[in-house]
Amino acid sequence: MGPAPDQLTCVLADDHDGVRGAVRAQLERLDWLEVLAEAPDGASAVELIDELRPDVAIVDVRMPSNTGFDVCSSLVAREVPTKVMLYSALAESSSIEEGLRRGACAVVAKQDGFSALRVELEAVRQGRCGERS
């Protein structure tokens, strides 16, 4: 039995164990989101997302063996329907534009904290991923 219609499944990818652990702890507090797996690099992120087909993937931009941008491009090329949300310490406009161009539905700055990430996750949950106000 899969998740309820308003539930989301997620894969989390970040090369820093501490960041990944902190984000996962916050995600697990959302009763409408289930973290299916974690990836420490871009290559394993693509493999996990391709295999598990979560609703959303939260992917760090800077990781070894495929950047978050590369992960987006790879998933688009494979026609994987997972919405990718890039989570970046470098959320300047050029990174945001590059992420969106490569297929991310959102780019969230790590310094904006979990509340900014939650807003974007709510948008995915409501079918509004990638809409700009």
Q: Which CATH superfamily is domain 8-124 in?
A: Response regulator (3.40.50.2300)
| H or E, element range at 9 | strand 8-13
pLDDT value at 131 more than 70: no
Q: What is the pLDDT of residue 5?
A: 59
Q: Are 60 and 117 in contact (CB under 8 A)?
A: no
CA angle at 85 for the pair 48 and 36, rounded to the nearest 5°:
35
Mean pLDDT of 98-126: 91
Q: What is the rounded CA–CA span in Å between residue 124 and residue 118? A: 10
> Which pLDDT tens digit goes with each residue over 59-89?
999 998 899 999 999 999 999 999 999 998 8
Q: What is the pLDDT of residue 133?
A: 38
Q: Read off the pTM.
A: 0.91
* 122-125 contacts, C-beta under 8 A, 24 or more apart: 124/8, 124/55, 124/56, 124/83, 124/85, 125/6, 125/8, 125/32
